[in-house]
Amino acid sequence: MPKLEINRIGKNLWEIPARAKKGMNVPARIYTSAEMLTAIDEAALEQVSNAAMLPGVVLNTLAMPDIHSGYGLPIGGVMATDPASGVVSPGAAGYDINCGVRLMKTPFVKEQIMPLREMLADLLAARIPAGVGRGGLIDLSDADYRAIAESGVAWAVRRGFGLKDDITHTESGGALEGADLEGVGGHAKKRGRDEMGTLGGGNHFVEIQYVDKIYNPEIAAAWGLREGQITLMIHTGSRGFGHQVATDHLKSMGQAMRKYGITVPDRELACVPVDSGEGREYLGAMRAAANYAWTNRQVIMHLAREALSEAMGVSPDSMPLLYDVAHNIIKLEKHEVEGKTRMVMVHRKGATRALGPGHPELPGAYKNTGQPVLIPGDMGRMSYLLAGTQTAMEQTFGSSCHGAGRALSRHAAAKKGRGRNLRHEMADQGVAVRSAEKGTLAEEMPEAYKDVSQVVDVVTAAGLALPVARMRPIAVIKG
């Protein structure tokens, strides 16, 4: 069991009280099962407790069942701060700003695609640049950067990289207001200049899947999904552009904290007042990186649409975007807190927004159902599609889990995979795999992650999301 005091306050809900650690301003809550709690690394629990020490944290810090230690806030962490008296912390959004997931529907069925999976894997791998430092087909000008910062996905659609409905079916319309390139350094722009439309390394992927199981026929039908249908999932973020933005601002905030009288238990939680000059500058740069990421996933989807359209002889219009969600981001949102409606600065790091039915930010297609919540598996694991709920709005600032969460470090996974031919192992399971980077398959093998079905079971049992559908992979393209 964890060293920190932790108390069970619900079937799948645990709390580290504010008294458990000197300096905590609010409790830290963890959504997990009794079985999964024993496997959570102590560092992750320390990190969600450390975040509870930051000035202006509202109500409590939170961790989803995919929690594991990262830098600053743990992966699977959620924190809300008061924009008037609280702070903003880049470490509570992560280095890969707006790493996220999108799901595209297709008119194909499993029986059509299974015999073609090796060919389609080769085709997608050839069309979509992938891997650390890999450049893409678009070299961004300064004018492009400004347009992307201002309009995000709309810029890509104007350039012919997608359909008009792609904009409305992306979280926040594919662009956060208030993006400002003034806080983006030259090195960040240089790193992102040729990475638009490229797939990152590590756990990022493009995956052809089929709908294996429908849990909620009514919602699935409303969303245009049926068993056996082929979907395409994309998981990637803001590449070197966002990473450098986070790196630069963590460093500058670390230097600025003294003048605001702020101390933190972990330098990766460096923070400044939301309304300070440094805070406004970071938020402007973070929003620009978020808009870059949404645009990046849009361009990748366009490349995949083109490839599938040509290979299968169908129109790109027959492959609409179901939804796109961010899971490393900071957003100013309106929430009910202790009976009062107030604006809070919600930090999500490895957590997905899960707006309930009727929320004003949702497009018409999802007003009655709640927001689509995308939970990716990978490398042979299943992926899940959920729907946001009012319970999430009331308990977690409208947040749910974002994936399985690592069970093994990349080093440990690489060691375990030594001597194995993972590509052949996956082929034996009916999954075609292509990887741009040597060693990625071992680092990202299925055994490296928690069982995603257990993670989904926790959030659905807690009422944070409703299960809608489950997808299984057919072909996976890795960075």
Nearest to 213 by CA among 471, 479, 477, 474: 471
Residue type, 330: I
Residue pair 91/72 in contact (Cβ under 8 Å)? The answer is: yes
Residue 16, token pair as written in the block: 């580290």
CA pair distance 44, 279, nearest whole angstrom:
26
Residue type, 89: S
Residue 379, token pair as written in the block: 């490398």
The Cβ-side half-sphere exposure at 115, using a 13 Å CA radius, reads: 3
CA pair distance 282, 85, nearest whole angstrom:
17
Instruction: Give the list of residues 6+ apart from residue 381 with CB closer than 8 angstroms, or none.
Output: 404, 446, 449, 452, 473
Catalytic residue of the set 204, 335, 347, 402 = 402
Q: Is 402 an annotated catalytic residue?
A: yes
Q: Which residues make beta-bridge pairs with 421?
A: none
Q: Long-range pairs for 357-366 at CB < 8 Å and ≥24 separation?
A: 357/388, 357/389, 357/390, 359/388, 359/393, 359/398, 361/172, 363/168, 363/169, 365/169, 365/222, 365/223, 366/323
Dihedral sign for Cα atoms in the order 32, 38, 41, 43? positive
Instruction: Give the list of residues 6+ apart from residue 376 with CB closer than 8 angstroms, or none.
Output: 101, 205, 207, 233, 235, 383, 402, 403
Nearest to 85 by CA among 357, 273, 303, 348: 273
CA pair distance 352, 405, nearest whole angstrom:
13
CA pair distance 289, 282, nearest whole angstrom:
10
Residue type, 3: K
DSSP 416: H
CA distances for 243 relative to 187, 211, 269, 299, angstroms:
11, 33, 16, 19
Active site residues: 402
